[in-house]
Amino acid sequence: MKKRVVIGLSGGVDSSVAAYLLKEEGYEVLGVTMETWREPGQDCSQLAGDARRVADYLGISHQMVDFRRTFKEAVVDPFMEEYRRGRTPNPCVICNRKVKWEALLSYAQEQGADYLATGHYARIVKLSGGRYSLKTSATEAKDQTYALYGLSQQQLSRTLMPVGEYEKKDIREIAKRVGIPVAEKPDSQEICFIPDDDYVGFLRRNDGGGLTPGDFVTRQGEVLGRHKGIACYTLGQRRGLELPMGRRVFVTGILPEENQVVVGDNEELFCRQVKASRINLMAVDDLGEGLKAIGKIRYNHRGAPCLVRQTGPDELTAVFEEPQRAITPGQAFVFYTQEGCVAGGGTIL
């Protein structure tokens, strides 16, 4: 009897090729397109158009499932709250854990599926001790393990990621060779619920907060000018400050209670220590006396050597060998073993 797999089918080339590969391997494939957000006046049928065409072309079943309430409560509301608190969130991390896996995996099980599959660039590995982890994908530039560090052992054991073993150019070539309708479709670069990439406009439209003007100040408290709202700024930002300083200055801190944005020199942005909460351990189940790892402080960070220790029931501290620039509260800190497996991660405090 064929194993049944539900695949999150977005209508992009990666999930489309993933569906094709699974079918070729002999799985019974059900494509599910998640409706997560709808702008006023938007027709939901437009959202599933490409995914439905791909499913029809591949000869697999397709469903559009409404996850809007779950998405708003789990992703959008916390996204806006983080900006109100002067932090810079990573909604994809939360969406992966709370929606694409918790909600979609639950739905897949209701459909009698054995596995959930996605088009993510990551490789699931089972380590010698029996734990599951994610190994960086064959396409380093497209690797998505950073945003997947929150997955549980149970979720990993029920997940397939068929494109992780391929380079991006190979996925495009497969799509063209097979004739998949979205073979030339460009990759999405924006937050999915903010397609115009204007998150400040999104906060304003949805009463997200953090947009009350206040003071730019130095580290010593000297007032330099007025800002447009703490949600408009992130650590390390230089552009858009509109301060007549006569030299380059950067956002070096955000003080939400005072509604102030601290600016200073680039050198003030460097530090060696990062603290994180809401942690998840993946390749290891205990950090012991400390784990030598490669730590990443943002998605496009190359990673740097560090020592990671657990400092509380749900908190860790990492010390980098060299100072890192703009360690930003709200972003994910993800650390890897020397072999390139996700050891764990958390949300930067």
128 appears as a binding residue in the annotation: no
Residue 64 among known ligand-binding residues: no
Which residue among the candidates 95, 232, 306, 341 is catalytic per the annotation? Answer: 95
Q: Is 150 annotated as a binding residue?
A: no
Decide if 348 contacts 296 (C-beta within 8 A): no
95 as an active site residue: the answer is: yes
DSSP class of 96:
I
Residue 197, sorted as left (phi over 0), alpha (psi -120 to 50) or beta, turns out to be: left
Task: Tell me if 15 is assigned to a ligand binding site.
Answer: yes
- Relative orientation angle of helices 168-178 and 13-24, to the nearest 10 degrees: 70
- The catalytically annotated residue of 44, 92, 192, 341 is 192
Residue 8 annotated as lining a ligand binding site: yes
Q: Report yes or no: 239 and 263 within 8 Å, Cβ to Cβ.
A: no
Is 31 labelled a binding residue?
Answer: no
Please enumerate in sequence order all residues whose Cβ is within 8 A of that of 56, keeping only pairs 6 or more positions apart, or say none: 62
Residue whose pair of structure tokens reads 């709808």 in the numeric block: 38
Token digits for 187?
Answer: 């990759």
34 is in an annotated binding site: yes
Query: Which residues on neighbouring strands pair with residue 227, listed in sequence order?
Result: 214
- 11 among the known binding-site residues? yes
- What's the CA gap between 34 and 14, in Å, rounded? 16
Q: Is 210 annotated as a binding residue?
A: no
CB 182 within 8 A of CB 11: yes
Backbone angles phi, psi at 273, to 5 degrees: -105, 140
Read off the tokens for 36.
């997560």
Relative orientation angle of helices 13-24 and 49-58, to the nearest 10 degrees? 20
Instruction: Dig out the tokens for 13 from the structure.
Output: 């080339």
Question: Could you confirm whether 44 is annotated as catalytic?
Answer: no
| Residue 10 marked ligand-binding | yes
User: Which positions make up the binding site for ATP?
Assistant: 8-15, 34, 119
Q: Which residues are annotated as a binding site?
A: 8-15, 34, 119
Which of the residues are catalytic? 95, 192
